[in-house]
Amino acid sequence: MEQENVLADLTVDAAASEELKSFAKWAKFLSIIGFILCGLFVIVGMFAGTIFSSIATINRSMYRDASVTSGLGFVMTFVYICIAVVYFFPTLYLFQSSVKLKTALESASQELFVMGLAKLKACFRFWGIITIIILSIYALFFLIAILTFSRL
């Protein structure tokens, strides 16, 4: 309860406002770059299927079994599009945060300020969950590697 009283006394002075405006500009810039990267991932994903299919055609003339290469095109397309979809959401949250914070600082709207911080929290929460998932996968691979090599 005492913590709420201390935080209620916080104010956004001119220096804090300028820092938040700077943050909002950089967040918007990074989110626009993120959207561009999402689009590039989708484009590369679409072309990955074509590239691997072309490699499969070349491999058929050189090798007997080129089915692995032809199937890899679909897998790579799927992987790149999944990466684009996963990367899109934190980028969207960051963009929404920057827009809401900038608008809140210009109009002195407490509601928009809170909404902007909530979107920023959603962005960080998303990346935290992704980080936990990736670290868990690494730990699983590490455990499998230890168990595999301990049997040799």
* Residue 61: per-residue pLDDT: 60
Would you say residue 31 has pLDDT above 90? yes
Is residue 151 very low, low, confident or very high in pLDDT (cuts 50, 70, 90)? Answer: confident
Up-side HSE of residue 123: CA atoms within 13 Å toward CB? 20
110-118 own/partner pairs: CB under 8 Å, 24+ apart:
113/12, 116/24
Q: What percent of the chain has pLDDT over 70?
A: 85
Is residue 24 very low, low, confident or very high in pLDDT (cuts 50, 70, 90)? Answer: very high
Compute the distance between CA of residue 33 and CA of residue 25 in angstroms, rounded to an integer.
Answer: 12
Q: What is the model's pTM? A: 0.79
Core vs surface per residue 80-105: b (16+ CB within 10 A) or e: bbebbeebbebbbbbbbbbbbbbebb
Task: Please name the amino acid found at residue 68.
Answer: V
Compute the distance between CA of residue 100 and CA of residue 123 in angstroms, rounded to an integer.
Answer: 14
Across the range 9-18, mean pLDDT stands at 84
146 CB neighbour count, 10 Å cutoff: 10
* Residue 75: per-residue pLDDT: 84
